Structure 1
Amino acid sequence: MRPKILLVEDDSSLVELIRYNLDREGFSVVTTPDGEEALVLAEEEQPDLVILDWMIANLSGIEVCRRLRRAPETASLPIIMLTARAEETDRIRGLETGADDYVTKPFSPRELVARVRALLRRLRPALSGGHLEHGGVVMDTSAHKVTRDGVPVQLGPTEFRLLRHFLEHPGRVFSREQLLDAVWGRDVYVEQRTVDVHIRRLRKAINQDNLPDIIRTVRSAGYALDADGSARVAG
């Protein structure tokens, strides 16, 4: 699966330049010039990273960043602030608001892609390939095997896909609807309570021998892989 980037930028020529370079490097890109629409897309599209211009329509990039950080579903979403504001005070403000990186215009598209890759390696290590690991749970995506603390875990196909989605986004809260889209697909009709059934099955499988439950239920929001675990790529 290609990592998905949400690009929030109102300069159409710059959008095409960034989109071209990201697409060439294997990324999927969703774009909008509008701050309010960016918040909607961040929830609906579930991007792996946001590139966010400071000066955009309807809602400033700073405010978009602030709201993304406040919402449980997007609180851990990596954000690169992209702006012509190069003053130190502006960079500090952007970082203190919640941006993970800050790139000033003009910039090299190659450098931006490199920063995207570096940030994903640091904050979304599952997207770099290899085995997925979090809190003692290790998934070999090629061999379709899962262990916890070295003990094999038997999972059905749906539970495997569900766990993989959580491992790829540790700490991020997903609603039942978002999990249905990501795991079952948007073209398949499945009732939301089906998610609860498979969450119970997944918990039963990975929490054997009274091990701590690493799947967190967030009331009125959904589920998340406990952020207390240490997510990284193994092997």
Structure 2
Amino acid sequence: MNTAVYKILLVDEDQVFVRQTRQLLVSQSYDTYTAASEEEGIIICQQHQPDLIICGAHLRGTGGHHFIMALRNDPAYDHIPLIFISLRDNRQEMRMAMNLGADDYLARPFRKRDLLLSIRSRLGRFAKFNHVRPPEETSTVSLANPNTAQQTLYHRLGKAENRIIKMIAEGKSTRQMADELGVSIRTIENHRYRIAGKLGVSGRNALTEFVIRNIIQQQKS
């Protein structure tokens, strides 16, 4: 059982799956909300600020990928950890979900234990980061030229992405970041890929070079 009451939003159009999963979550003392569409999911986020979201691949009128994009493009919700649920074990679908911002991926059918472990891992990793993070860490890192296009894009990064940037600036490797955040190396690589896209840089070492040029060198000046 949980010592704290966490709020979980379950978004999926499959009512049988939603009912069964909700029963599982309630049995673990999670405060659970459900939605069948992207619009309903966003409204619940506005009203209840969930601590974690479980999103299915198929929603009423659209797909789960569209919901992830809407969530990650909104600074108010882009920090919320999200577990993506697919109807099949498909590598391409998994990669797309992770690139869009999913924090974990499970293919149905899966064991109840696997879902609960994923939830606990996500909540444990994000609890301090999302709720009691020191104020000085919540600000974005200033770039050398505040008038650049990169500056505008940088302020669109989510809290998790800002933390990745900070760790890159600290000289941590992908493996070190994965170990510290309790995720896989692939997840870190997906985060780096999305950050690079938002900052408008490309190439194998482009993001690291961007951090060195615009953050580390500025801090030394």
Pairwise TM-score range, normalised by the shorter structure: 0.5 to 0.7
> C-alpha displacement at 1:17, in angstroms?
1.3
Runs of 4+ in 1 over 6 A off after TM superposition: 227-230
The answer to whether the aligner puts 1:103 opposite 2:101 as a matched pair is no
Match for residue 53 of structure 1? 56
**Letter in structure 2 aligned against 1:23:** V
Distance in 1 of aligned mates of 2:29 and 2:95: 31
The answer to whether the aligner puts 1:88 opposite 2:114 as a matched pair is no
Match for residue 24 of structure 1? 27
Distance in 2 of aligned mates of 1:57 and 1:98: 21
The alignment covers a number of residue pairs equal to: 142
Match for residue 12 of structure 2? 9
The answer to whether the aligner puts 1:65 opposite 2:65 as a matched pair is no
Distance in 2 of aligned mates of 1:79 and 1:39: 13
Match for residue 159 of structure 1? none
Q: Secondary structure at the match of 1:134?
A: coil
Whether contact under 8 Å (1:21, 1:110) holds in the other structure is no
> C-alpha displacement at 1:60, in angstroms?
1.2
Distance in 1 of aligned mates of 2:124 and 2:39: 28
TM-score (norm: length of structure 1) = 0.54
Distance 1:133 1:73, change over 3 A: closer
Structure 1: which 5+ residue stretches go unaligned? 138-169, 173-223
Q: Secondary structure at the match of 1:31?
A: strand
**Letter in structure 2 aligned against 1:107:** F
TM-score (norm: length of structure 2) = 0.57
Q: Secondary structure at the match of 2:32?
A: strand
**Letter in structure 1 aligned against 2:103:** D
Match for residue 194 of structure 2? none
> C-alpha displacement at 1:59, in angstroms?
2.5
The answer to whether the aligner puts 1:74 opposite 2:73 as a matched pair is no
Mapping for residues 1-235 of structure 1, pairs under 5 Å: 2-125=5-128, 134-135=133-134
Higher strand share: 1
Distance 1:72 1:104, change over 3 A: same
Higher helix share: 2
Deviations 1:146-179 (A, max 9, x none): xxxxxxxxxxxxxxxxxxxxxxxx859xxxxxxx
Q: Secondary structure at the match of 2:62?
A: coil
Distance 1:126 1:70, change over 3 A: closer
Q: Secondary structure at the match of 2:10?
A: strand
Deviations 1:104-140 (A, max 9, x none): 001112211111011111122479xxxx853389xxx
Distance in 2 of aligned mates of 1:107 and 1:80: 13
Distance in 2 of aligned mates of 1:10 and 1:69: 21
Structure 2: which 5+ residue stretches go unaligned? 140-158, 168-179, 181-221
Whether contact under 8 Å (1:36, 1:58) holds in the other structure is no
Tell me whether 91-100 or 36-45 shows the greater mean CA deviation: 36-45
> C-alpha displacement at 1:33, in angstroms?
1.1
Deviations 1:76-95 (A, max 9, x none): 11100011132111110010
Whether contact under 8 Å (1:81, 1:103) holds in the other structure is yes
